[in-house]
Amino acid sequence: MKFAHIADCHLGSWGSHPELRDLPLKAFEQAVNACITEKVGFVLIAGDLFDTSMPGVDVLRFAAEQLRKCRDNGIAVYIIAGSHDYSPTGKTMISVMESAGLVVNVNQKLINHNGAKIFGIEGLKGGLDKNSFNDLKIPELGSGLKIFAFHSAVTEHCPISLMDSIPLSVLPKGFDYYATGHLHEHINENIGKAKLVFPGPLFQANFDELEKHEKTGFYIVSYETASANNGFLTMKRIELDVCKSFVIKIDGNGKSPVQIEEEILSMIENNDIKNKIVLIKCKGILESGKPSDINFNLISERCKNSGCFAVKKSVNLTTEEIDLKTQEKSVKEIESDLMKQAVANQEDKKDMIPALMDLLNQEKTENEKNLIYEERIKSAVIKMMGL
Ligand SMILES: [Mn+2]
């Protein structure tokens, strides 16, 4: 018997980049098609099906279509909400999908799928996970493959130190397969006789990921019905082929804008960028001139002429030494430093800032009236801050 473990689909991501907007959807469609071809019994989505708690109508319709395709092919879809598709006030579109009979939310619920047991806990914004793990009430599991679904980084297997994570010790014991997400890395580890698996995102969710991960995908797990432990599980990685990236990284130190421009143009000329996303990253202190002296319009035009899919640039060039200090840190690191300073003596508020920032970052949805949008955000803030 087989099941698919998917996480971090982020449907609706890249919303402000029209050229890339369809790619996460394409990835999800490929994944669903692969599940049908592989004849899996069920799919488990370990959080972040959607990129926001209020995805647009087109994204919702697309998700519903794909989930229905699963249902029509006799594939059950079990799911937990992740940190992205769960709003701070507890609303998620997953509940809409569930009401339509397209998914079954396994948050704090034990599901028996032809003998396989699935129990999950949803991911929440603001790192509330640790406490919720302690309060889990898991019913008697009995025999069969036992899967625990959650959505959090795990300290012992977290390559990113800035990320909030939970230690292995808080995970409930007695499961064969710990299906998780959140950490956008692809990790498949043994913990004792069990497995701890992060499939990674279905499609890269930001520029760093486009640069870092050449491939994305998910797992298909084969298991024996009767008694499953690690020895009975066979893992098959399914890699998706959505759109490749080509990264042009330029060290601008001591160079002139003309030199940089020539370097980029020659990279474009001498490489195959057809149907790829071209990422141009420039960093350093210019020897002369300004970053705006680089003719990016010409560069874009050359890329398009070579048949690339899209061009994206991140330019961190400066002419002054003084800027170098801040350039060395990523936006995330600076953000995290500032947050730490702001709540230095208030441990309890530590998680609130990122959650609040996320909340205030939410955009108006299609056709949403200003007044309703304001009210929605206001009441969410009041609820979150306990006012
Ligand atoms: Mn995610």
pLDDT tens digits in sequence order for the chain, 387 residues long: 999 999 999 999 998 899 999 999 999 999 999 999 999 999 999 999 999 988 999 999 999 999 999 999 999 999 999 988 877 777 889 999 999 999 999 999 999 999 999 999 988 665 555 677 888 888 888 888 999 999 998 988 888 776 778 889 989 999 999 999 999 999 999 998 899 999 999 999 988 899 989 899 999 999 876 554 556 889 999 999 899 999 999 999 999 999 999 999 999 999 999 999 999 999 999 998 888 899 999 999 999 999 999 999 888 888 865 444 555 677 778 887 888 777 777 777 777 787 888 888 888 877 788 888 888 888 888 888 877
Whether residue 312 sits in one domain with residue 250:
yes
Residues 216, 251: one domain?
no
Q: What's residue 327's pLDDT?
A: 57
26 with 147, same domain: the answer is: yes
- How far the first Cα of the chain sits from its last, in Å, is 50
Count of domains observed in the chain: 3
What confidence tens digit (pLDDT) does each residue in 36-84 have?
Answer: 999 999 999 999 999 998 899 999 999 999 999 999 999 999 999 998 8
Q: What's the CATH number where 47 sits?
A: 3.60.21.10
For residue 321, the CA-to-ligand 1 centroid distance in Å is 36
Give me ligand 1 centre to Cα 138, in Å.
Answer: 25
For ligand 1, a single-atom ion, which residues have Cβ within 5 Å? 8, 48
pLDDT digits (tens, 9 = 90+) for 108-164: 999 999 999 999 998 866 555 567 788 888 888 888 899 999 999 898 888 877 677
Domain boundary among 240, 275, 301: 240
What's the gap in Å between 225 CA and the centre of ligand 1?
A: 31
Q: How far, in Å, is the centroid of ligand 1 from the Cα of 78?
A: 17
Claim to verify: residue 104 and residue 234 sit in the same structural domain: yes
Distance from the CA of 335 to the center of ligand 1, in angstroms? 19
Cα dihedral 347/350/351/355 (nearest 10) = 150
Select from 240, 266, 299 the last residue of a domain.
240
Q: What is the DSSP string of 243-312?
A: --EEEEEEE-TT--HHHHHHHHHHHHHTS--TTSEEEEEEEEE-SSS-GGGS-HHHHHHHHHHTT-SEEE
Residue 48 CA, ligand 1 centroid: distance in Å? 5
Q: Does residue 41 contact residue 73 with C-beta atoms inside 8 Å?
A: no
Contacts for 128 with CB less than 8 Å, ≥ 6 apart: 351
Q: How far, in Å, from the CA of 67 to the mean position of ligand 1?
A: 19
Domain that holds residue 309: 245-327
Q: Looking at the structure, tell me whether residues 9 and 146 fall in a common domain.
A: yes
Quote the ligand 1 centre to 183 CA distance (angstroms): 7
pLDDT the model gives residue 365: 79
Task: Write the CA distances from 251 to 281, 284, 286, integer angstroms.
Answer: 9, 6, 10
**Would you give the distance in Å from CA 49 to the centre of its chain?**
9
Please tell me the distance between residue 93's alpha carbon and the centre of ligand 1 in angstroms: 16
- How far apart are the CA of 232 and the centre of ligand 1, in A? 29
- 130 and 258 housed in the same domain: no
Residue 92 alpha carbon to ligand 1 centre in Å: 15
Return the pLDDT at 231. Answer: 60
- Are 369 and 261 contained in the same domain? no
Question: What distance in angstroms lies between residue 84's CA and the mean position of ligand 1's atoms?
Answer: 7
Q: Please, is 52 exposed, middle or buried when counting C-beta atoms within 10 Å of its C-beta (0-12, 13-18, 19+)?
A: buried
Distance 8 CA to ligand 1 centre (A): 4
Q: What is the pLDDT of residue 324?
A: 47
Within its chain, how far is the Cα of 300 from the centroid? 28
β-pair type (110-113, 245-251):
unpaired
Angular region, 339: left φ>0, alpha ψ -120 to 50, beta rest: alpha
Asked if residue 206 and residue 257 are part of one domain, the reply reads no
pTM, full prediction: 0.80
229 and 262 together in one domain: no
Distance 252 CA to ligand 1 centre (A): 32
Which one, of 208, 188, 212, lies nearest residue 198 by Cα? 188
Of 281, 299, 327, the domain-final residue:
327
Q: Do 352 and 320 fall into the same domain?
A: no
Say yes or no: 40 and 159 in one domain. yes
Residues 186 and 95 occupy one common structural domain: yes
